[in-house]
Amino acid sequence: MRHPLALGGSYSSQSPNSSYDSTMNWYSESVETGAGKSKLVLYPTPGLSLFVALTGASVRGIFSINNRTFAVAGTGLSEILGNGTSVSRGTVADNGLPVSMAASPTQLLIASGGRAYVLTLATNGTAYVLTLATNVLTTIAAATLTNVSQVAYIDGFFLALNRDTQQFRISTVVDATSWPALQIIQVSVFPDNVGSMIASHRELWLFGITKSVVYYDSGSAQIFDVIPGATFEKGSIATWSPVNLDNTLF
């Protein structure tokens, strides 16, 4: 003899005397064959488990390079280790917005709070550079690079977008700490300020509010040029909306 399932999904009738069922953290599923032990089964809700806890108000960005993972939470830059612990790699400015990160095989460039920072990877924004070999975090002087909103990396060059302008900067080859004064590109194919920048398939996409344009490493004197015909009558008003996902730019 089959017994009806004592529990089901949540349902509250107009009168609690009629039905006042509440199910938390479980969901009901019908046995569609009709031949099961019951008409309904309950399954627990899928979820996430805590891997590492970082200090800081909120996680503003995560980036992985060469089997190493870095995260910025509040003002703190941390490296997340495989055993669920973290190591502090320095501090960056915090304006409450997401950070932008880009990396070469040896350096991690971080744009945070309008500044730029470099972590030399083996070393510990504004722009910041983390040297990966030494894990040393270096703050790029405001006189060299400031008002940075997003960064990218293409063909050995680091790229930095100047917030609320039509300009992006180009670094010395494979050196996020060096930004020649003449290596500035003025986007002139549309009148909008460039609000978003993202690298995809070795191309640099720049989004204004109503229009967009794509640059590539042309090998010319100014290094990056507009791809012929790659200007679009669509833009993005949301700075962090463009994203690389599933081998495609959305």
Mention every residue, 6+ apart, whose C-beta is less than 8 A from residue 10: 21, 22, 23, 24
Q: Is residue 124 very low, low, confident or very high in pLDDT (cuts 50, 70, 90)?
A: very low
Q: Is residue 123 very low, low, confident or very high in pLDDT (cuts 50, 70, 90)?
A: very low
- The reply to whether 152 and 243 lie within a common domain is yes
Closest CA to 108 of 64, 141, 146: 64
CB atoms within 10 A of CB 155: 13
- The reply to whether 99 and 194 lie within a common domain is yes
Tens digits of residue pLDDT in 183-218: 999 999 999 999 999 999 999 999 999 999 999 999
- The reply to whether 95 and 1 lie within a common domain is no
- The reply to whether 71 and 136 lie within a common domain is yes
pTM for this prediction: 0.79
- The reply to whether 12 and 113 lie within a common domain is no
Question: Computed from CA positions of residues 88, 90, 91, 97, in that sequence, does the dihedral angle turn out positive or negative?
Answer: negative
Number of domains composing the chain: 2
Residue 78 to residues 54, 126, 249, Cα–Cα distance (Å): 8, 17, 28
Mention every residue, 6+ apart, whose C-beta is less than 8 A from residue 104: 153, 156, 158, 174, 176
Task: Check which CATH number belongs to the domain holding 211 and give it.
Answer: 2.130.10.10
d(CA 49, CA 170): 41
- The reply to whether 215 and 232 lie within a common domain is yes
Please give the average per-residue pLDDT across 7-32, as a whole number.
71
- DSSP symbol at 141: P
- Residue range of the domain that includes 87: 53-249
- The reply to whether 212 and 102 lie within a common domain is yes
Q: Is residue 12 very low, low, confident or very high in pLDDT (cuts 50, 70, 90)?
A: low
Pick from 47, 67, 85: which residue ends a domain? 47
- The reply to whether 119 and 41 lie within a common domain is no
Residue 106 to residues 68, 173, 210, Cα–Cα distance (Å): 12, 12, 36
More confident residue, 35 or 178: 178
- The reply to whether 38 and 150 lie within a common domain is no
- The reply to whether 23 and 100 lie within a common domain is no
User: Which pLDDT score, from 0 to 100, does residue 10 have?
Assistant: 63
Tens digits of residue pLDDT in 29-76: 888 777 777 778 888 878 788 899 998 889 999 999 988 999 999 999
**Residue 204 near residue 152 (C-beta atoms within 8 A):** yes
**Residue 112 near residue 99 (C-beta atoms within 8 A):** yes
- The reply to whether 191 and 213 lie within a common domain is yes
Structure tokens that stand for 128 in this block: 């910041």
Residue 4 pLDDT > 80, yes or no? no
d(CA 89, CA 77): 5
CB atoms within 10 A of CB 106: 21
- The reply to whether 22 and 137 lie within a common domain is no
Closest CA to 99 of 145, 129, 126, 60: 60
